[in-house]
Structure 1
């Protein structure tokens, strides 16, 4: 009966749930926004239109948003909150204390007041692009990092901040975050600790036209980071090439024998030039050393033969010297025995003792005196 009566009177009963809001239009005009409950709305000729919204989805998205604010501004403000940023702003929107959205410049969010309460934090990008550390932690927890770029600078390092290709400042160790809206942000991390650089397998031609390969080492550290990255494309590569040139100058003036006979390092003048050139780009070079000299295979064989011949000659000299000393010693002993018969008799007894120690049994005839006489007669003969 009620439905029949509503049909005759040209009206319709609309039930709105507690979590809903209904935007109603009649004959193309906005009637209003209706909350939870039952509402009787005009519907002659079926010209009532209803647009239901679930406030659990906080954003208000409707084709009738602008007509609503134009025709019923008080109602719209009572039901909805509009967050809007200009060209130089970022807005952080929170819902009931929880981060809900981050608005980029020239962006808008319309939200149901019933889904709130809502709060807003605006960031003026003209005052700087840095993101507050606490806000950064909240953005990370909420996984709202699409407008943020973060960089980590470790101990012993420094970061060079560049915005749209222009250097801004140096960053100390720590986590740094920046708003990246409409900007190109880069941070180049430069290590300030002492480092080593090896130039390995560098081929050089000595003064006597022998091709060798050398390994070179140097220690350096960056003392002016901005100079080091702005004056040259790659400061480590610049040092590498400077070392190559310095050792070509040094070893190219020496023969292979000179290089092998003494510990060769870079000339003081060449080393000073390397240090001066690198200091001009903010790099301090300390030690410069020649680590290894590597010879071609055939040259190694020749040198091994030369060394072997030299050692053999030295061994022959030592052998002849020892033989001469032994002969001289025998001659001196013979002279002493010739002049002293007692000494000769002692040597004879030593010989007899040595012979007796090598046989199991020794038989002596005519007694020891006879033996001695025979030995003496043997010597006389």
Structure 2
């Protein structure tokens, strides 16, 4: 029977084909849309017929005949296809069996095979921040559609300043954030809100007495108004650096070296107040500011070392003379007491004798102990 049918088809100019449940065929007769064939056996003329085979595993209808089919045979297209079109201010998420399969940007469209469904669509209005709901972002990432998102993670202790097309729109808390990637430029600048230390090292300053010194400064600070800090200046770290340089240069440049070394703590206070006032205007809170080191030129260090050594030597001489004077005065007082009190003199003689006796094995005293301190005392081994 099959051979007989094949013979008849060849004689009459027809051919037979079989489509599976996952196949569809677009048929054009004499260049005009005729049908979209589904699963089963079909008999088609061999001449003046064009066919285009589609697999339903490719969920979306993609064909060079797409526009012509929708315009010339909309009823035929509506039988087999569903069209989704996003508005100018929305994003569509297409779902098959509740799983996202595609994201349509504003004014984008897609044709899907009805038989490949069931289909569902979610409409997401574009907000000023272009933010994607957290649950939606997680579903898109799990479905492998992360390329449709701009993902940003704001670290703990930071804040994120969100700009869209160069315009600030929101301040973000720490955590993960996602934004629609729809042709608009979305940027997030992270600002550290934690306490930090800024160092100014090797700053050269000319003092009032024309001595060139180098100083090292440090300042503790934190950002209290990130929007103002970013909007008021290009780089608030550099602004703090320059403020420290200028404040200490102005303060130290009006002082002599001796005064600077003697009033270091006061210098810190005067310059620090100036820096704090200036930085508060751009949203920066400055804490402790310290003049850590004052580094002198080599020749000046040698001179100061010699001066300090001379001062210390002079102080030592004064102390030595004062102690000698005190010792002499003490001896004089002792002599006066002995001259006026024979008993005290006798006690001193006995103390001297005791000291000597403790250092020798034998002690001979002639003429008794009378006049011990003035007569000869013979010591023998």
In the alignment, which of 27, 32, 38 is matched to residue 24 of structure 1?
27
In structure 1, distance between residues paired with 2:241 and 2:278: 12
Question: In the alignment, is residue 103 of structure 1 matched against residue 104 of structure 2?
Answer: yes
Q: Which residue is 2:43 aligned to?
A: 40
Q: Which residue is 1:254 aligned to?
A: 255
In structure 2, distance between residues paired with 1:108 and 1:377: 131
Q: Call closer, same or farther: CA 1:376–1:326 in 2, change over 3 Å.
A: closer
In structure 2, distance between residues paired with 1:287 and 1:279: 14
Q: Which residue is 1:243 aligned to?
A: 244
Deviation (angstroms), 1:155: 4.8
In structure 1, distance between residues paired with 2:250 and 2:293: 17
Q: Call closer, same or farther: CA 1:127–1:282 in 2, change over 3 Å.
A: closer
Q: Say if 1:223 and 1:282, in contact at 8 Å, map to a contact too.
A: yes
Q: Which residue is 1:284 aligned to?
A: 285
In structure 1, distance between residues paired with 2:68 and 2:146: 34
Q: Which residue is 2:379 aligned to?
A: none
In structure 1, distance between residues paired with 2:7 and 2:165: 70
Q: Call closer, same or farther: CA 1:183–1:355 in 2, change over 3 Å.
A: same
Indicate the SS of the match to 1:378. coil
Under a length normalisation based on structure 1, what TM-score does the superposition of the two structures give? 0.88
Deviation (angstroms), 1:340: 3.1
Q: How many residues align?
A: 374
In structure 2, distance between residues paired with 1:70 and 1:198: 70
Q: Which residue is 2:70 aligned to?
A: 69
Question: In the alignment, is residue 371 of structure 1 matched against residue 372 of structure 2?
Answer: no
Q: Say if 2:16 and 2:41, in contact at 8 Å, map to a contact too.
A: yes
In structure 1, distance between residues paired with 2:35 and 2:95: 27
Q: Which residue is 1:197 aligned to?
A: 198
Unaligned runs of 5+ in 1: none
Q: Which residue is 1:296 aligned to?
A: 297
Q: Show CA shifts across 1:81-123 (max 9, x none).
A: 2222244332111111111011223322222222211111122
Q: Call closer, same or farther: CA 1:334–1:377 in 2, change over 3 Å.
A: closer
Question: In the alignment, is residue 181 of structure 1 matched against residue 182 of structure 2?
Answer: yes
Q: Say if 2:128 and 2:169, in contact at 8 Å, map to a contact too.
A: no
Deviation (angstroms), 1:374: 7.1
Q: Call closer, same or farther: CA 1:126–1:304 in 2, change over 3 Å.
A: closer
Deviation (angstroms), 1:272: 4.8
In structure 2, distance between residues paired with 1:227 and 1:318: 62
Deviation (angstroms), 1:342: 3.0
In structure 2, distance between residues paired with 1:21 and 1:207: 93
Alignment of 1:1-381 (within 5 A): 1-43=4-46, 46-125=47-126, 129-266=130-267, 271-360=272-361, 362=362, 364=364, 370-373=367-370, 375=372, 378=375
